[in-house]
């Protein structure tokens, strides 16, 4: 017989999957924007979808926060259930921030999408955003499928996305040294903002993967170096 506690947790899990899919959809749109060869990368239609999804994400975060707190207070879950609920809470926070970063990034792209610098940078930014999106997706799948290997894979990719971040930033800083035009410098600043936002999406994916491992094993591996170990 399913208890009220189990029903409540099942409801949270279902809403969490819907919430996660919204954020993943936003990341898909970001990649579509960066992959586009059109001058008008962000159409009115894409802008409308991004805006509507962001509103749903904001609402979904509040709903999930309330449901998690209510379940803990009303049903006094056991330790394993508490780990799952705390992990869900951490993941919801990180997913909402990923959603914010997608909106921030798309707004910056809209402002500079017709510039030569943006067009020449799009492929590099797409590759970086693709890796970040893969990290988010696999971190979520690791939680849903109780797959620690996917979580560990995600955490290890954080170093790769940091390297991409440093390489791209170094490239644009070097380019900036050759520019004495204020308008061009502002565009480079916007590109650096996009790079940093994508890198932060990777950081949030790592946080989600760490929360997944916490839910599964009860181990807090934050700040631990997994590059030389598969002990978890």
DSSP-assigned letter for residue 151: H
- Give per-residue pLDDT as tens, 93-121: 999 999 999 999 999 999 998 888 888 88
What's the CATH superfamily of 4-217?
Phosphate transport system protein phou homolog 2; domain 2 (1.20.58.220)
- Give CA–CA dist 185/173, Å, rounded: 10
- Average pLDDT estimate for 37-46: 82
Which of 88-97, 108-117, 164-173 has the largest mean confidence? Answer: 88-97
The domain ranges of the chain are: 4-217
| pLDDT tens-digit readout, 181-213 | 667 778 888 999 999 999 999 999 999 999 999
- pLDDT tens, position by position, 212-221: 999 988 866 6
pTM for the model: 0.89
Helix or strand or coil: residue 111? helix
Alpha carbons 110 and 102: distance in angstroms, whole number: 12
Which residue from 12, 159, 16, 165 is spatially nearest to 93, judged by alpha carbons? 16
Q: What is the mean pLDDT of residues 20-45?
A: 90
Residue 184, both tokens: 């061009």
Query: Does residue 170 sit in helix, strand or coil?
Result: helix
pLDDT score at 121: 87
pLDDT computed for residue 76 by the predictor: 87
117-163 pLDDT tens trace: 888 888 999 999 999 999 999 999 999 999 999 999 999 999 999 99
Q: How far apart are CA 191 and CA 207, in angstroms?
A: 25
Position 119 scores a pLDDT of 86
């Amino acid at each position: 017989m399913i208890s009220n506690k189990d029903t409540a947790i099942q409801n949270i899990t279902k809403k969490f999957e819907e919430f996660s899919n919204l954020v993943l959809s936003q990341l898909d749109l970001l990649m579509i924007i960066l992959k586009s060869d059109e001058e008008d990368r962000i159409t009115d239609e894409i802008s409308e979808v991004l805006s509507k999804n962001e509103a749903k994400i904001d609402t979904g975060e509040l709903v999930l926060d309330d449901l998690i707190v209510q379940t803990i207070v009303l049903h006094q879950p056991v330790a394993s259930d508490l780990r799952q609920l705390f992990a869900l809470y951490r993941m919801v926070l990180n997913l909402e921030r990923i959603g914010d970063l997608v909106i921030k990034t798309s707004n910056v792209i809209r402002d500079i999408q017709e510039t030569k610098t943006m067009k020449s940078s799009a492929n590099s930014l797409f590759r970086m955003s693709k890796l970040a999106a893969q990290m988010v997706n696999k971190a979520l799948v690791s939680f849903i499928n109780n797959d620690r290997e996917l979580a560990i894979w995600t955490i290890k990719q954080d170093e790769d996305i940091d390297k991409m971040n440093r390489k791209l930033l170094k490239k644009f800083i070097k380019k900036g040294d050759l520019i004495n035009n204020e308008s061009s410098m502002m565009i480079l600043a916007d590109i650096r903002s996009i790079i940093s936002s994508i890198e932060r999406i990777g950081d949030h994916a790592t946080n989600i993967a760490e929360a997944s491992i916490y839910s599964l094993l009860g181990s807090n591996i934050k700040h631990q170096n997994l590059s030389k170990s598969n002990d978890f």
